[in-house]
Amino acid sequence: MTSIPKLLKLKDYITLSGTTMGILALICAVIGTRYFLSLGFFFVAISLGTDLLDGYVARKTGTVNKFGIEMDSLSDSLTFGIAPSVLAFQAFKTGGFYDIILIIGCICFALGAMLRLARFNITTEETPGYVGVPTPLSALLLISFYCANYFYAFALGGIEHPFPEVSLYIVPFLMILIGWFNITTHISFGEKDKKVYIIVLIIAPLGPIFAIIGAMNPDFTVSIIISLIFFGGFLLLLIFIISGFFHKSEKIKE
């Protein structure tokens, strides 16, 4: 049996750095304060970059292999499935009966990511492109929703100000919907669809950039503008995902 050090390549170390971000995000979720929850979503946003980078390095160095594919899926399950769902529960919990609905939403989100990745591993060779929403996009959708609420609440009363009540009631159903987006066969994107990479490259850096701005205690105007930017990014992602329905319809017609 081959030892682990001999199996690991450069792209695998990049994958492991993303996994580390996911573990740190979970630790932040356990602490549970608004500051650490924001830091946790920051770590998930950073891992979006490592997820793109490890695939790029693997292709450029010719080190794409089954070990890397399996490790990448395990890492993505943690970083883009489990960690965001636990962070979301801590961020949007009400302390009442409605938290049961939120728990269901969090479970659907995490299971959707894991099932999507498992299916991708066994169908990637026979089905080109993406069927269902890639887990980095679903995590990015949740990050955008959280950050839009964070900066809106920050503008109104600082880091501990409650999130808008409507968001607390929307988020469980949003997470159930995202979980379905992951596993549905009614959404598809083209083979190596560059739009997927472009969307991630445009929106993902906003998390780390604005997290730094948030740590500088921005005033009301700046916070509201940032909140609107994240809300716009959230809508952009939804529109992009909905476009996957039309792509699927076109493939059926062909």
pLDDT, tens digit (0-9, with 9 covering 90-100), for 103-145: 999 999 999 999 999 988 887 555 566 788 889 889 999 999 9
How many Å apart are CA 138 and CA 251, to the nearest integer?
Answer: 23
Task: Copy the structure tokens of residue 26.
Answer: 């979970």
Q: How many domains does the chain have?
A: 1
Q: Per-residue pLDDT averaged across 208-224, rounded?
A: 76
Q: Answer yes or no: are the C-beta atoms of 233 and 210 closer than 8 Å.
A: no
* Residue 134: domain span: 4-253
Strand partners, 189: 130
* pTM (two decimals): 0.89
Given a cut of 50, whether residue 3 has pLDDT beyond it is yes
CATH of residue 177: 1.20.120
- Provide the pLDDT for residue 191: 57
Render pLDDT for 183-212 as a digit per residue (tens, 0 to 9). Answer: 998 887 765 545 656 666 666 666 667 666
The values of phi and psi at residue 80, to 5°, are: -105, -5
